[in-house]
Structure 1
Amino acid sequence: MERLSGLDASFLYLETPAQLLHVSGLIELDPSTIPGGYSFAALSAELDRRVRSMPEFRRTLRDNRFNLDHPVWVDDPDFDIDRHLHRIAVPEPGGRAELAELYGHLAGQPLDRTRPLWEMWVIEGLPDGKIAVMAKMHHAGADGVTGANLMSRLCGLTPDESPSSATDNGTATNSAGDGGDLAIALGGLAGFVRRPLELARLLPSATPLLTGWISRARRGAAMPAPFTAPRLPFNANITRRRIIAYTQLDLNTVKQVKNAFGVKVNDVVLTLVASALRSYLAERDELPDTSLVAMVPVSVHASSDRPGTNQVSAMFTQLRSDIADPAERLRAGAEANDVAKLHNNAIGATLLQDWAQFSGPAVFGTAMRVYADLRLAERHPVIHNLVVSNVPGPPVPLYFLGAHITAMYPLGPVFHGAGLNVTVMSLEDRLNVGLIACQDLVPDLWSLVDDFQHGLDELAAAAN
């Protein structure tokens, strides 16, 4: 068995019927490249063969009432691909509205915790003979980088290439193992006993963290503090209903803008988010005078030695949506990002992971339900306006079970108080932009996504 880290487990504890904490990916495929042609039965058989060599797809949660620590992962002895891979057709007439409604419906369904926490929906009947796959995996088992890596291991660089993780007989190269109730309870007791010592080790660092933040703020070298963001319509309690929108941008144009202004790709991405939101909110007379604040997950896979799947820290940055000129918005946003990165690095890569170890279902779960029931997200100052994540992908073609991937739109979770998530992923020469929101807070999400191309056109014009 493998015990979940506190950060991994917190995504279980904080989940509610409205706040679903899985990550998703919408993958558009050209099935004409599949050797022998496409059939659902053949795709299902090939996926089954591949995931049996990948223990992350076959592990399930196990817990009991005597366990004083976080739950554990164990191998599912009854793993069945038919419980995870489903087939559906696009409703007539199959246009963008019907697709978006279907994708949003699938994204708004919780995962079954009695099984391995993932599922895929194969969606047939798209225009031009394409098919799509909606892949979902719980955040307890995958962060952005981990999820992208898992999907890449199901892919090849040619249509007939098998992933490197697969073995000849399709059996696992390693596994989560098994764990009985007594082993889970005893291991949980040992972890519980260590908690006071861990807390004593962390407490001395809490005061310098706060005083350091204040000192940095006085020097203008601090990232925005939580609870300082302006309130927007989607900074409210969310419901279970989801809406999805997506677009593709030319990655070469993004890089041309980056080079012309001497900034990073992530700076351009965040400015595109700011530009789109600025246009969207201005059209509705909802644009605040102060800058929007985004929470940007930062991967610490390369710098953290803590256990667990989720290896992230959280960075707050100003999007500088208060600046009208697109070129100045990009320069100011890049400067704000540099300040936020330096501050985040000074805090430490493992802060979030260390403190999350003290999370627990009784406290976190109850607190989250009370928070939602009392609609507290609408009563206290806004923590941050939205989540923006940038996941780098390969610059070469990928083939999912033999089908050429023509688009891969990542979709993160939304939270009470932050009902909009923007995630981008590069693939080949395209930047795939995926937006997901609470439908009751952002009913016209397509209007927002259409502003991304306009924002890129503005920056490209300013770069010339």
Structure 2
Amino acid sequence: MHMHVALCAVLDPSEMPGGYRFEAIENLVLSRLDRLPPFTRRLVMDPLGLDHPHWIEDPEFDPIHHIRRVSCPAPGGSHELGRLVGRITSRPLPRDRPLWELWVVEGLAEGRFAIVAKVHHSAVDGMMGAGLMVNLFGMTREPAPEAPPPREEEHPVPPEPRPSDIEMLKSAARKRLAQPRKLVDLAKRTVERVGGVVERRRDPELAHGGTPLTAPRTRLNRPIGPQRDVGFARLSLAELKAIKAAVEGAKLNDVLLAVVGGALRRYLAHHDDLPEVPLVATCPIATGAGRGNNNVAAMFVPIATHLAEPEARLEAIQAATRGAKEEHAVLGKGELLQDWADLAPTTTFSVASSLYSRLKLSKHHRPVHNLIVSNVPGPPMPVYLAGAELEAAYPMGPILDGAALNVTVMSYRGQVDFGFMVARDVVPDVWRLADAVAPAFRELRDAVLGAPSEASPERSTPAE
């Protein structure tokens, strides 16, 4: 199972100092490694897999393994770029070096180029991903260094000694000895907090979120293969905010979920596969727990795909997200899940995940969820990479066995860019789904605002 996140950034090199050169991108990335700590770290495991992996500075770091160059097939439009990004994200990241790759994609329409950054989820979550973007991009057309930094500067942090096998086993043993007490305490807290959610749901006046393992089965919910495909969409941030402002209590994330729900309703209806109950989305949210590189938890939200009226769909999603957030707080804002994960050895998850996929167990129970939907804030102002202006930033997240779709959105400079990551063997027509975003948005906008806005024309994805 691939657990990397990705970003496809489309750039305009027309005013790039000195014109476009692959070497300029490479030199810039190498010169900024000191701002990107995960890019020079790798994982080491204890011999018995008793503990979680340890992060160390890679003493053998070599950028040749990480910065790649590729040409997009002609004519270099969004569909060709999406298929290429799907191929790039179909390959897992090698575990014996830092968990990232950066692909420079040349040959896009109208002279554009793209970079596709692929980073393992253990090294970076969505919020940190936006931070990495800020550190890689700049707010001016500052040119890239004329030459790569000296070899000794490519590794900005002196490599630390690799912990010995004995040291790692001692650390694992100390943690295991403390586990029985922690397990009793964690089990007690889990029972109390789950009981609090159950008690809360008995009150019919209170809104509540979704429940895992209750999602309806659709064509999206099958065992997945390793091949990925990608689609893109773009909407106006101002128009999305106008919808939010017109509905009392609505959040921007509610509006985005309503658009995604409308697009899925159209897609599943086309395939005669629209269930009578709502699809359930897992929505990652920041925990602020400060543990490692990845501080996210998840809430389950029914996205009202069973409702034909878009305004009613938005109202139902409003109530569901409000209830899910309140229940998330009752459960400890993700602390329980992280505590359970801390107690289990990495090998337990690895073996269980492998068996789950190999035995296709997702076919034998109700789906945990139908899809993942994530919202990542991006910069509101134009940003540049080696002097090339960023035109669009399409984020993508991992998919899990039994749920072949991840929709991640990022705001940038008055636009909202959608990245659709799918398992190609389950969803062979990702662009039918991506292309359903615009009509789903228009349907919601017209229902809420009463008429199309004259402020924004139809949006198209760059590289078309």
| TM-score for the superposition, normalised by structure 2 | 0.90
Q: Distance in 1 between matches of 2:293 and 2:35?
A: 18
User: Is the Cα–Cα contact under 8 Å of residues 49 and 345 in structure 2 kept in the other structure?
Assistant: no
Match of 1:217 in 2: 201
Which residue of 63, 81, 84 maps to 2:63?
Answer: 81
> What residue in structure 1 maps to residue 332 of structure 2?
348
What residue is the counterpart of 1:10 in the other structure?
none
Identity %: 39
Q: Which amino acid counterpart does residue 42 of structure 1 have in structure 2?
A: A
Distance in 2 between residues matched to 1:160 and 1:93, nearest whole Å:
30
1:42-96 deviation per Cα after TM superposition (whole angstroms, max 9, x unaligned): 2211211111443221001112315631111111112122210000111233344
Aligned 8 A contact 1:90 1:124 in 2: yes
Answer yes or no: is the 8 Å Cα contact 1:53–1:172 preserved in 2.
Answer: no
Match status 1:432 vs 2:417: yes
Name the structure 2 match of 1:339. Answer: 323
Q: Which has the larger displacement, 96-105 or 281-290?
A: 96-105
1:267 corresponding residue in structure 2:
254
The equivalent of 2:348 in structure 1 is 363
- Any conservation in 1 of the 2:208–2:327 contact (CA below 8 Å)? yes
Q: Summarize deviations over 1:388-447 as a string: whole Å, max 9, x none.
A: 000111211111232211011110001111110000000010000000100111111101
SS where residue 74 of structure 2 aligns?
coil
Per-residue CA distance 1:300-336 (angstroms, 9 max, x = gap):
12xx25x211111110011011111111111111111
Inter-partner Cα distance in structure 1 for 2:235 and 2:22:
30
Deviation at 1:273, TM superposition (A): 0.6
Match of 1:39 in 2: 21
The question of whether the paired residues in 1 share the 8 Å contact of 2:213 and 2:368 is answered with yes
Q: For 2:302, which of 318, 332, 343 is the aligned residue?
A: 318
How many residues are matched? 440
More deviation, 369-378/93-102: 93-102
Partners of 1:229 and 1:384 within 8 A in 2: yes
Q: Secondary structure in 2 aligned to 1:156?
A: coil
1:123 paired residue among 80, 101, 105: 105
Matches within 5 A, 1:70-219: 70-160=52-142, 177-181=160-164, 182-219=166-203
Q: Which residue, 349, 363, 376 being the options, matches 1:391?
A: 376
1:280 to 267, 272, 281: 267
Aligned counterpart for 1:415 among listed residues 400, 425, 430: 400
2:462 matched to which residue of 1? Answer: none
Q: Residue 176 of structure 2: SS of its match in structure 1?
A: helix
**Conserved? CA contact 1:23–1:411, under 8 Å:** yes
From 224, 228, 232, the counterpart of 1:238 = 224
Is the counterpart of residue 255 in structure 1 residue 241 in structure 2? yes
* Equivalent position amino acid for 2:366 in 1: P
Deviation at 1:209, TM superposition (A): 2.5
Check whether the contact 2:45–2:51 (CA below 8 A) recurs between aligned residues: no
CA distance in 2 between partners of 1:97 and 1:313 (Å) = 32
> Given the two structures, how large is their TM-score scaled by the length of structure 1?
0.90
Between stretches 202-211 and 411-420, larger displacement belongs to 202-211
How far apart are the structure 1 equivalents of 2:49 and 2:272?
52
- Alignment map for 1:433-452 (pairs within 5 Å): 433-452=418-437
Note the C-alpha offset of 1:33: 3.3
Matched position secondary structure for 2:175: helix
- Following superposition, the deviation at residue 161 of structure 1 comes to 7.9
Q: Which amino acid aligns with 1:218?
A: R
Give 1:28's match in structure 2, choosing from 10, 23, 27. Answer: 10
Report if the CA contact (8 A) 2:58-2:159 is conserved. no
Instruction: Say whether the 8 Å CA contact 2:208–2:322 is kept in structure 1.
Output: no
Cross-structure match for 2:458: none
* 1:224, distance to aligned residue in structure 2 (A): 1.7
**Paired position in structure 1 for 2:364:** 379
CA contact (8 A) 1:156 1:162 kept: no
- Alpha-carbon contact 2:50-2:346 (below 8 Å) kept: no
What's the offset of the Cα at 1:386? 0.4
Q: Deviations over 1:17-49 (max 9, x none)?
A: xx2011111110112233222211122112111
**Which whole-Å CA distance do the structure 2 matches of 1:75 and 1:437 have between them?**
33
Unaligned runs of 5+ residues in structure 1 are: 1-18
CA shift in 2, pair 1:67/1:228, >3 Å: closer
Q: What are the Cα deviations for residues 86-141 of structure 1, in whole angstroms up to 9, with x where unaligned?
A: 00111233344332221111110111111100001100000011001111000111
Shift of 1:180: 2.5
CA deviation vs aligned residue, 1:324-351 (integer Å, no higher than 9, x gap): 1111111111111111111111111212
User: Contact 1:50–1:170 at 8 Å: present in 2 too?
Assistant: no
Deviation at 1:175, TM superposition (A): 6.7
Letter in 1 for 2:439: H
> What CA distance in whole angstroms lies between the structure 1 residues aligned with 2:79 and 2:394?
17
- The separation in 1 between residues aligned to 2:428 and 2:439, in whole angstroms, is 21
User: CA RMSD, aligned part only?
Assistant: 2.1
Give the 3 Å change call, closer, same or farther, for CA 247–67 of structure 1 in structure 2.
closer
